[in-house]
């Protein structure tokens, strides 16, 4: 049996600082072209779009899923406004070309969590 170092009050205080976010899951769409130069350019544009959204404070975590044929990645957005997210994602080169599609999910977390470097 594990020993819990947090009291119920401490747990609830921490949970009370949580906030809603939106989790986007990227899925495979139409096949990408069989041309490395085109795919490499698309990847650079896709990453530039992600970096820009992060810089603008729109998203906080993103990355690929590397061990699944249909699931391709996740993005955590700092908003619950799905219309805004759809507008932002419309500018992604892979979405525009139909090579990726996505689904949006309501997600809750405690701000300040980090991914170890």
Q: Each residue of 79-95: pLDDT tens digit?
A: 999 999 999 999 999 99
> Where along the chain do its domains lie?
29-109
pLDDT at position 1 over 80: no
- What pLDDT does 104 receive? 98
Measured in degrees and rounded to the nearest 5, phi and psi for residue 5 equal: -85, -5
CA distance 102 to 15: 28
Please name the residues in contact with 69: beta carbons below 8 A apart, sequence gap of 6 or more.
28
Indicate the average pLDDT of the chain. 95
- What pLDDT does 111 receive? 87
pLDDT at position 18 over 90: yes
Q: How confident is the model over 56-84, as a mean pLDDT?
A: 97
CATH of domain 29-109: 3.30.70.1060
pTM value? 0.91
pLDDT at position 2 over 70: no
pLDDT at position 4 over 90: no
């Amino acid at each position: 049996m594990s020993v819990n170092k947090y009291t119920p009050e401490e747990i609830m205080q921490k949970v009370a600082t949580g906030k809603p976010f939106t989790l986007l899951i990227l899925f495979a769409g139409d096949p990408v072209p069989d041309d490395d130069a085109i795919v490499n350019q698309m990847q650079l544009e896709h990453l530039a779009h992600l970096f820009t959204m992060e810089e603008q404070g729109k998203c906080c975590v993103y990355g690929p899923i590397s061990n699944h044929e249909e699931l391709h990645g996740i993005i955590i957005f700092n908003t619950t406004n799905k219309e805004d997210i759809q507008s932002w994602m419309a500018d992604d080169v892979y979405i525009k070309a139909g090579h990726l599609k996505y689904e949006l999910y309501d997600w809750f977390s405690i701000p300040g969590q980090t991914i170890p470097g």
